Chains A and B, each alone.
Chain A
Amino acid sequence: MSRKQREEERVRGIFGRRALLLGAGQMGLLGFLAHRLHTLQVDEGERYATLAEENRLSARLLAPPRGRVLDREGRVIAGNQLNWRALLVAEQTSDVGATLETLTKIIPLTDAERARIEREVRRRRRFVPVVVREFLSWEEMARIELNAPDLPGISVDVGTTRIYAEGEHLAHIVGYVAPPAERDMDGDPLLELPGIRVGRAGIERHHDLALRGRAGAVQLEVNAVGRVIRELDRREGVQGQDVQLSVDAELQKSIRGKIEEGTSVVLMDARNGELLAMATQPSFDPNVFNSGVSAAQWREWTANRATPLINKATNGLYAPGSTFKMVVALAGLEARVVTPGERVTCPGYMDLGDSRFHCWHRPGHGGVDMRTALKVSCDVYFYEVAKRVGMDRIAAMARRFGLGVPLEIELPGTRPGLVPTREWRQAQGRPWALGDTVVHGIGQGFYQLTPLSLATMTARLATGRAVQPHLTRSIGGRPVRGVRAEDWPSLGIPERDLRLVREAMWAVVNEQGGTARIARLPPELGAMAGKTGTTQVRRVSREQRERGFRVDQMPREWRPHALFVAFAPMENPIFAVSVVVEHGTSGSAAAAPLAKDVLVEAFQRLRPGPGGLPARVAEAPRSAIPPVRP
């Protein structure tokens, strides 16, 4: 055994120990990895399994088609139309700006559009599609599909868009839809879907929840970039319900064709308050709101003095003039301050203190009882009755007729109007003088009443029931309350008093000397009962009067408004109508003939039978929910 061999043995021994140490250490570390795997896969396995499922699964909402709005004959007023649109999913592109840049070469985007898209991309979660452009033409759609490889994140899909077949004719009733704003977000996940619309005005807004339906959902398997791999589960949503209205679209269109700017016509089924037509001029096209209203269009609408966006039938405020006299008469009868037979002498004016209140008929009507006073619209008679009964009792009676109180009409923003009381005046820090009561006895003064409330008043006069004006007949095929006359409570006014007033209104139209004889209905349609009204918009001074002032020489905007309310037929009334012609000068000449035309048309179109007005139940719809395209 040489020294060299011993040396080798020693080195070998050291190596052996150290190699074993190294090997054992390495196996130990591999053992640690095994332990680690056990911890992850067994001890914490369930937690990670949940996380993996969360990664993999993605729920997507399905937008149900919005319910339609139909007229009483089942004609579609607000429907849905297919809408090809380009969507952008920010998550699926590395550079939103570059994608939009490429897209601009295919379909030109304005700077404003790009700014909107980029704003929405920032605001929404990255996997929520943002609408780039709606209402694509076939050609545009094909060009996008063709260039798909160069447009990461862009996809084309088909959605639905709202279409209003009758355009401006029913705009004030149906309203319109628009993309939801922040304040519309009521927690309904449906509102997060791209391209979804919510009702912004009118029926669309009032019945938005019923029309909207409930979102369906699909559970999808998605990969890391959000691409859909397959559909795992699908829960269909609830389609929006159809809302059938009481209006007749054809009648509405026809009436709108008859009227001029500033005129409102409200035609109601007097027995149950169903609105058959509610026409004003001018109006607007609700389809414009769908794709966004341009700044120029908005300026045009808001700057227009004729206020096309405002429904004058529900929001125009007018003094009722002589159409209010029935309320004063009934208030007098109820308060027993006047009897039907009592004659009041009209010398053409009435003096109160040192003020003189004129009758519209300067020579005076002589001695008139209540029926005659209504028939010839004698102002002095009603000055006298008002003086006796007092403003508060007049106002109370007016409220029972739906004047100056909120009505149940389904149009958001409808104004209740105003019937003044002493208290109201005093709240303004002004005293209520007896002269004020006298003026208010003929429907002039502080009143602010809508054509809708005047039609309501007329319907209540005709039926003696507290009918409420409404537009909805059925939702999703189920009739709503108020279709039957018996649904409405009695006003509690003695039939004797009501009959007196109705007969006086009949005399207005049908008797010699009535103010609206010009508006008689053709005999075969039965008799109409009505009342004219003419309300000053400017005070006429005594000097002007004495100089032989003539109203038709005034500038148009100074001329009085012309009003007329009527119901027909006299026996078993069906229709109640109110007409307001702004600056129409004379209720007899401008408003009453228009009311007659409207009623004739209503009889012809609606053909009322003994069971009421006919209406057609709309048949069941229509398109299925579009499938999700992977």
Chain B
Amino acid sequence: MKFERRLLLRERGSGVFEKLWQIPWVFVLLLCAVAGVGYVALYSAGGGSPDPYAGRHAIRFGFGLVMMLSIALVDIRLIARFAWVGYAMGVGLLVLVALHGQVGKGAQRWIDIGPVQLQPSELMKIMLVVALASWFHKASWERIGNPLFLIPPIIAVLVPAAMIFKQPNLGTSLITLMIGGAVFFAAGVRLWKFALVVGAVAIVAPIVYENLHDYQRARITTFLDPESDPLGAGYNIIQSKIALGSGGFWGKGFLQGTQGHLNFLPEKQTDFIFTMLAEEFGLVGGLSVLGLLACVIAFGFLVALRSRHQFGRLLAVGLATNYFLYVFVNIAMVTGSIPVGGVPLPLISHGGSAMITVMIGFGLLMSAHVHRDAEMGAERDET
């Protein structure tokens, strides 16, 4: 502890104002722009009115902004120290939701905390990234090569993934696994081990398919041939593609989207918000939004590369990957490239849970940026 305090004093600028100066305001502006896009889209989804979506979206974003900036100021070492406490809390919430959660769409996903509903699986992904980053922090190349060293983090990934899968929420469960995999990969786990896992998955996948819910299987089969069931499960995909395609290059114009405004587009304020945007603003608008989101993700990698400690690097990569997976899965879903998975587009689509958790993640990312030069001791000190 003595050692740490000494390092702290040597650190460049530790006061609150110093830290505020260090906050990447360009990134904050970028997030505001993304949320602004969301406001515009939700204004249209509300039929040309801030009610009922856009207004609440703005308030929520303001709340999230304060929270994000607060987290950005928290010392990265404090975060690292309580990484596993956070992880345990996340698992605890998953247990709670399994016991008392609200059933929605045939799955236990929600938990009511006062006025807001919380989806613990969203929070869990953030906590998992923090926990894994702290585990691999300071681990030597040899140590990472040791299979026994990998067993605890593998369990740490599998436990929440299995619990989310049981909710059942196949999409988020797979995303959790992928985030875990990304952190493992960045930490330097040997490539042949990944090959081994991929091979094992290829064998296990058919068995898992057998145990999927009917609606989950339907999603996969309608993905392969959506036109086969145009009024049932494939309806959403078809209508979304019609909306996108009919938007054309320049789009139909703000508030002029027929598919969205005439309700052919399902869940236009949540999962299909991107479709709504691309119908009204065309390819130009769609690519602009995609570019904006790519910048957000790229910033995460930039933070990772500039961090001088492994914890910050892994944290940044994990959190950037988390947001990337939201973006990719959602847009791939609405363009009919992968099965419909009920994944929102955080910061743009309506719904507080994903936005708040994503902003907690960005707060951590910014903390990693602010404290990128912090001298961090290993949690398990080698000395």
Contacts and interface: CB of A to CB of B under 8 A. Distances in A.
A223 B245 contact: no
A51 B185 CA distance: 44
A53 B186 CA distance: 48
A478 B298 CA distance: 81
Interface stretch (A28-36, A112-120, A519-527): A28-36
Given A36-B335, A48-B245, A42 B298 contact: no
B186 A22 contact: yes
A52 B328 contact: no
B283 A55 contact: no
Contacts of A30: 290, 293-294, 297, 324, 327-328
Nearest to B328: A29
A38 B321 CA distance: 24
Q: Which of A16, A27, A45 has the most CB of B within 10 A?
A: A45
B246 A52 contact: yes
Contacts of B301: 19-20, 22-23
Contacts of B187: 15
A23 B335 contact: no
A48 B305 contact: no
25 contacts: A10-B141, A11-B139, A11-B141, A15-B187, A15-B314, A18-B186, A19-B313, A22-B321, A27-B294, A30-B290, A33-B332, A36-B335, A37-B286, A41-B278, A41-B286, A45-B246, A48-B241, A52-B243, A52-B246, A52-B264, A55-B239, A55-B242, A56-B262, A221-B258, A221-B262
Contacts, number: 145
Ranked nearest first, the 9 interchain pairs of A and B with the lowest CB-CB distance are A48-B245, A52-B246, A223-B262, A224-B263, A23-B301, A41-B283, A49-B246, A45-B248, A14-B188
A16 B305 contact: yes
A564 to B, nearest CB: 71
Interface residues of B, number: 51
A500 interface: no
A51 B242 contact: yes
A48 B244 contact: yes
A59 interface: no
Contacts of B242: 48, 51-52, 55
Contact of B331 (A16, A33, A45, A53): A33
A96 to B, nearest CB: 17
Interface in B329-347: 331-332, 335, 337
A44 interface: yes
A228 to B, nearest CB: 11
Interface in B231-265: 239, 241-249, 258-259, 261-264
A42 B283 CA distance: 8
A51 B305 CA distance: 47
Given A22-B186, A52-B258, 14 more contacts: A8-B310, A22-B182, A22-B317, A27-B298, A29-B328, A30-B290, A37-B283, A38-B283, A41-B247, A42-B248, A42-B249, A52-B245, A55-B242, A229-B262
A554 interface: no
B6 to A, nearest CB: 17
A622 to B, nearest CB: 37
A8 B139 CA distance: 9
Contacts of A40: 241, 244-245, 335
Contacts of A42: 248-249, 283
Contacts of B49: none
Interface residues of A, number: 43
B140 interface: yes
B258 A15 contact: no
Q: Taking chain B's interface residues, is the majority helix, strand, or loop, or is none over half, making it mixed? A: helix
Contact of A44 (B141, B182, B245, B313): B245
Contacts of B249: 41-42, 45
Contacts of B186: 15, 18-19, 22
B304 interface: yes
Interface of B: 139-141, 182, 185-188, 239, 241-249, 258-259, 261-264, 278, 282-283, 286-287, 290, 293-294, 297-298, 301, 304-305, 310, 313-314, 317, 320-321, 324, 327-328, 331-332, 335, 337, 382
A222 interface: yes
Given A23-B298, A30-B290, A41 B263 contact: no
A23 to B, nearest CB: 4
B234 to A, nearest CB: 14
A10 B185 CA distance: 15
Nearest to A41: B283
A58 to B, nearest CB: 11
Contacts of A10: 141
Contacts of A51: 242, 245-246
A41 B282 contact: yes
Contacts of B290: 30, 33-34, 37
Contacts of B324: 26, 29-30
B305 A19 contact: yes
Contacts of B298: 23, 27
A608 B139 CA distance: 122
B14 to A, nearest CB: 23
Contacts of A11: 139-141, 188, 310
A146 interface: no
A136 B363 CA distance: 66
Contact of B140 (A7, A19, A26, A36): A7
Contact of A37 (B140, B185, B287): B287
B299 to A, nearest CB: 11
A225 interface: yes
A49 B241 CA distance: 10
Contacts of B282: 41
A4 B249 CA distance: 56
Contacts of B328: 26, 29-30, 33
Interface in A219-236: 221-225, 229
Nearest to A51: B242
A143 interface: no
Contacts of B332: 33, 36
A33 B186 CA distance: 24
A22 B183 CA distance: 10
Contact of B297 (A26, A56, A221, A225): A26
Nearest to B247: A41
A48 B248 CA distance: 9
B235 to A, nearest CB: 10
A47 B305 contact: no
Contacts of B335: 33, 36-37, 40
B244 A37 contact: yes
A29 B327 CA distance: 10
A55 to B, nearest CB: 5
